[in-house]
Amino acid sequence: MAAIQSYVLSRCASAVFELLWPMAVNDPDNCKLLRYINLPSQWTTRSGSGFDTFLIEGYQYPIPRLPQ
């Protein structure tokens, strides 16, 4: 990841990096192995990740229907 970020920054110094985190495949309760593989421990802190933002996508989670 660092090599990609370095390359991009050499071409566009104002670039920012965002990690898009789809909870549907990385849910810590239901997908422990995928979460372990997809989120290296160094990425759990801003200083270690190199990302400017961490966006969690949760569109796949249905909202329970209210009783009628």
Q: What is the pLDDT of residues 17-66, one digit of tens each?
A: 888 887 777 777 888 888 888 888 888 777 878 888 888 776 655 555 55
Q: Which residues contact 42 (CB under 8 A, 6 or more apart)?
A: 48, 49
- Is residue 63 a part of any domain in this protein? yes
- Is residue 8 a part of any domain in this protein? no
pLDDT, residue 63, reads 54
Count of domains for the chain: 1
Per-residue confidence band for 6, with pLDDT thresholds at 50, 70 and 90? very high
pTM score, whole prediction:
0.61
Per-residue confidence band for 3, with pLDDT thresholds at 50, 70 and 90? very high
φ/ψ of residue 48, rounded to 5: -85, -20
pLDDT, residue 65, reads 56
- Is residue 40 a part of any domain in this protein? yes
- Is residue 3 a part of any domain in this protein? no
- Is residue 43 a part of any domain in this protein? yes
Task: Look up the domain containing 24 and give its range.
Answer: 17-68
φ/ψ of residue 51, rounded to 5: -90, 145
Q: Which residues contact 19 (CB under 8 A, 6 or more apart)?
A: 43, 49, 51, 53, 54, 55
